[in-house]
Amino acid sequence: MTIAPAMLDAVLARVDADLANALSRLKDLLRIKSISTDPAYAAECQRAAQFLVDDLAGQGFTAAARPTPGHPVVVAHDSVGTGPHVLFYGHYDVQPVDPLNLWHTDPFEPVIKDDANGRKIIVARGSSDDKGQLMTFVEACRAWKNVNGSLPVRVSLMLEGEEESGGKNLPPFMAANADELRADIALVCDTDMWDRKTPSITTMLRGLVGEEIEITCASKDLHSGMFGNAARNPNQVLAEIIASLRAPDGSVTLPGFYDDVAEVPDAIKAQWKGLGFDEKAFLAEAGLSIPAGESARSVLEMIWARPTCEINGMIGGYTGDGFKTVIPAKASAKISFRLVSGMVPDKIRAAFRKHVQDRIPADCSVTFREHGGSPAITVPSDGVYLKQALAGLTGEWNKEAVITGSGGSIPVAGDFKKILGMDTLLIGFAHVDDSIHSPNEKYDLESFHRGIRSWVRVLAAFAA
Amino acid sequence: MTIAPAMLDAVLARVDADLANALSRLKDLLRIKSISTDPAYAAECQRAAQFLVDDLAGQGFTAAARPTPGHPVVVAHDSVGTGPHVLFYGHYDVQPVDPLNLWHTDPFEPVIKDDANGRKIIVARGSSDDKGQLMTFVEACRAWKNVNGSLPVRVSLMLEGEEESGGKNLPPFMAANADELRADIALVCDTDMWDRKTPSITTMLRGLVGEEIEITCASKDLHSGMFGNAARNPNQVLAEIIASLRAPDGSVTLPGFYDDVAEVPDAIKAQWKGLGFDEKAFLAEAGLSIPAGESARSVLEMIWARPTCEINGMIGGYTGDGFKTVIPAKASAKISFRLVSGMVPDKIRAAFRKHVQDRIPADCSVTFREHGGSPAITVPSDGVYLKQALAGLTGEWNKEAVITGSGGSIPVAGDFKKILGMDTLLIGFAHVDDSIHSPNEKYDLESFHRGIRSWVRVLAAFAA
């Protein structure tokens, strides 16, 4: 069924009129401390799931918080809609908030304020990643139902709670409920706009391999005066291993690391050139000016089309106030690899583990712990849903929507393809300065408001 | 005045008879949480100082806790004794207790028990380093005064509270009170016996340079998906700097590091050979089997006569439970150098800082924080006090006392020479398995008991 322009306008008007209420609902969700990686917050994750179940059930969805071995997955279906079937995806869990002292306000007490450029923003952990983004499509559904009585297409939602903590329970859940969850297209709202004026659909995403290593040398902490020089120091061993992961030219040294990495086709490079990406401005956003990756590559290539190895955390010995002349027994690190299309997570993990194991002195030992693994994905750029969605976005933002890559990893997109056989459109309204995973995370009110309006239009476009 | 053998025997008998009370006093001191490096325990340091003032005043010493900009220095003088003037030194402060979960009992609730070899030990933070050791001479003084009415020589004591935290307030205190503190010889009880049967006097001690560095790259924590590859990772920068401090042969790479390091004379090497040091057993004590230092050197040389660089602590990024795909803004490390005779602390510190600064990318920065510096010291091996002390120790242990080196640093010995112009005898009764600076620190009851008896004899020997 085609949507009459007057109906579309009425739904959009409803979004505008209901914005204050929508913000109030978002703030309620942001107040829930759903840090999925920390077991201390398990009950908060449960609360966030229930909040969404209640909201969706109130809209008339059949909704439930479905148990997993970890945090629940919220699944909701609309029994009324017709036409194409879409599956919205978002995650209600958030990153930890440390270092807490760098937040200007309580991370779980959202505040709306003007940023330095006079833009309205909402500041809280999860405001952008991903509670603010997922509420854009929840609110779009509400507006459609309120005005039209029903959605213009068949809509299901799957909202998970372990995206920030490896998400290993979601693929089995999807496999066990494949027939129920399979739709014509998956819609993921967890990415950025190209810039403040230009909406975009991300069609390239890096994959991820997460690893934690713990190196043990002595059987106990030692006095560095008594044993220093003679006893192996695990901090030194760990530092040498980390240093050995990068060559002076910025490339990753693991044997075979680039074997399955294809060069970006010239046509795509040309398209990227047309985006007018400003390397200097991108780095300046982070207070930097010199790209750190492979010296022969552009920054856009580095973050969209080249794999990387990052040390996300490392610790060993005495790190409190003052000084302690200790040679610790252990040192550990959390290390992640971002993969590009063609790379096989298990192969990279195995190469990494061998590289580390080869560098452990004979009287020391290492343990490995897996923190997730997913391949990169590339979405076909010629599908009908992609074209309809681009048109919907272009209509809202009055600027041609573009197709981009992303350096981040959204493993679920790969799983949708592998487990459910469906493609994914990655459409998001976040910005690079949102400080996701950092103190003072924020989401622009414009992202939220026009994000909701964008989904209203995209759903209408699918019905055409 | 020469001490009559019967008097000496009577004082020794008094030590034996009073052992239970002496242990009770030691336990009271061990219960005080005098962790000097952590400002949260400042009042506990004050309590420990007052405990010692009260004990010494009760014995008839003129004693006071003298203020410094940090923790107080306990100074006590005996107004009655005659003959040579000795200055005892010990420290009432202790190391932090983390990792607390590895302690089998509360670190500040001392317990006396049998170790795996059936030896009686007292387990608590500070039991060996240095509360147990300093109480050996406090108890020796008590026994002399109780039996003889006075000490056989003139005795002063200086007990500091910042040995474990850089001790930067002690040298100015010594300089300001030089005339009051100057004695004929300083007696420091903070070292090990050669082995369980063989008492020793340490005549070589390594010096120390402590440094803390903090590397800042981005202006805030970044998402490793969005910025990974392009943004400089301070964990990687720090790891590369740490790795660059050691060459594959185990030597330290700082330019000029070994310039002022003399080879150990053949005669001393021969003497060390005679000690029958068991490299395998020494490393096995720490659960290790392969020496980590310069590959061409013996373990004894590594720890007594060669300088080292140790990473005492390092931290950067997310180190909690789970995983966080962050590129942190900062990473930091606590690094110490142990110096041997001839090396100049300021020169090593400057070489280190230049080495680090040279490796900081142009858009990143580093800050340095000093944590103490002291040169190595070598005590002349032909003085009369050394000979008398060796005789006293030999008398107690029925085994020839030996002259040894030590890998640890006792900066005060250098300061005694530089500021007060006096030599130091380093006589201690600890053992290499005491786990000082580690969980489950202990002191053998035999060390405590015969340590007290040893000081009773050494004081008598000085009076001869």
Its ipTM equals 0.77
* B289 with A363: Cβ contact below 8 A: yes
Q: Please state, in angstroms and as integers, the Cα–Cα distance from residue B372 to each residue in A319, B114, B168, B258, B420, following that order.
A: 17, 37, 7, 20, 20
Residues of chain A found within 8 Å of residue B242, distances taken between Cβ atoms:
235-236, 239-240, 243
The per-residue pLDDT for B404 is 87
Question: Could you read off the pLDDT of B192-203 as tens digits, one per residue?
Answer: 998 899 999 998
Cβ distance of B437 and A222 shorter than 8 Å: yes
CB atoms A239 and B95 under 8 Å? no
pLDDT category of residue A81 using cuts at 50, 70 and 90:
low
B325 contacts A208? CB cut-off 8 A: yes
Mean pLDDT of A311-331: 94
C-alpha angle A437/A67/A428, rounded to 5°? 35
Q: What is B5-205+376-463's CATH superfamily?
A: Zn peptidases (3.40.630.10)
Contact B322 A38 (CB under 8 A): yes
Interface contact B288-A218, CB threshold 8 A:
yes
Residues 6+ apart with CB under 8 A from A10: A147, A148
The letter for the amino acid at B12 is: L
Distance CA A223, CA B95 (A): 11
Residue A322's pLDDT is what?
86
Q: For B15-48, write each residue's pLDDT tens digit.
A: 999 999 999 999 999 999 999 999 999 999 999 9
C-alpha B275/C-alpha B294 separation (Å) is: 21
Distances (CA, A) of B177 to A438, B75, B239, B420: 52, 10, 44, 10
Query: How confident is the model at residue B275, as a pLDDT?
Result: 84
- Nearest-angstrom CA–CA distance, A59 and A138: 9
Shortest Cα distance, chain B CAs vs residue A360, angstroms:
12
How would you class B446 by CB atoms within 10 Å of its CB: exposed for 0-12, middle for 13-18, buried for 19 or more?
A: middle
Proportion of chain B above pLDDT 90, given as a percent? 81
- Subunit contact A37:B317, Cβ cutoff 8 A: no
CB contacts, 8 Å: A282 with chain B: 230
B62-102: pLDDT as tens digits: 999 999 999 999 999 997 767 899 999 999 999 999 889 99
Nearest chain A alpha carbon to B311: A235
Burial of A320 (0-12, 13-18, 19+ CB in 10 A): middle
Kindly list the residues from chain B whose CB atom is less than 8 angstroms away from the CB atom of residue A292. Answer: 229-233, 236, 361
What is the per-residue pLDDT across A40-80, written as a single tens digit (0 to 9) for each? 999 999 999 999 999 999 999 999 999 999 999 999 999 77
CATH code that applies to domain A207-261+307-374: 3.30.70.360
Contact B219 A287 (CB under 8 A): yes
**For B274-278, B385-389, B433-437, which range has the lowest pLDDT when averaged over its residues?**
B274-278
Residue B81 is predicted with a pLDDT of 64
Locus of tokens 């913000």: A23
The torsion angle over the Cα atoms of residues A77, A82, A85 and A86, rounded to 10 degrees, is -70
Using CA coordinates, name the residue in chain A closest to B103: A220
CB A358 within 8 A of CB A237: no
Q: Which of A37, A312, A315 sits opposite B315 (nearest CB)?
A: A315
Rounded to a whole number of angstroms, the distance from the CA of A96 to the nearest CA of chain B is 8
Question: What is the pLDDT averaged over residues B310-326?
Answer: 93
The listed CATH number (3.90.1150.10, 3.40.50.10800, 3.40.50.2000, 3.40.630.10) that belongs to domain A5-205+377-463: 3.40.630.10
A236 contacts B239? CB cut-off 8 A: no
Amino acid symbol at B143: A
Give the span between the Cα atoms of B448 and B332, in whole angstroms. Answer: 40
Q: Which helix (H) or strand (E) holds A29?
A: helix A19-30
B290 contacts in chain A (CB < 8 Å): 232, 361-363
Distances (CA, A) of A205 to A208, A307, A414, A422, B367: 10, 11, 9, 16, 37
Identity of residue A410: I
pLDDT digits (tens, 9 = 90+) for A85-142: 999 999 999 999 988 999 999 999 999 999 999 999 999 999 999 999 999 999 999 9
Mean pLDDT of B340-345: 92
- What is the pLDDT confidence band of residue B446, given thresholds at 50, 70 and 90? very high
CA angle at B459 for the pair B457 and B464, rounded to the nearest 5°: 95
Residue A163 in this model has a pLDDT that exceeds 70:
yes
Under a CB-based contact definition with an 8 Å cutoff, are residues A235 and B313 in contact?
yes
* Mean pLDDT across B262-291: 88
How confident is the model at residue B405, as a pLDDT?
84
- In chain A, what residues touch B226 (CB-CB under 8 Å)? 192, 303, 406-408, 432, 436
Chain B nearest-CA distance from A345, in A, is 16
Tally C-beta pairs within 8 A across A and B.
370
For chain A, give every domain's residue range: 5-205+377-463, 207-261+307-374
For chain B, percent of residues with pLDDT exceeding 70: 99
B374-384 pLDDT tens trace: 889 887 767 89
Amino acid at site A296:
A
Chain A hits for B311, Cβ within 8 Å: 233, 235-236, 239, 316-317
Instruction: Check residue B1 and give its pLDDT.
Output: 64
- How many angstroms separate the CA of residue A193 from the nearest CA in chain B? 13
Contacts of B439 in chain A (CB under 8 A): 220-221
What tens digit of pLDDT does each residue of A418-457 get? 899 999 999 999 998 899 988 999 999 999 999 999 999 9
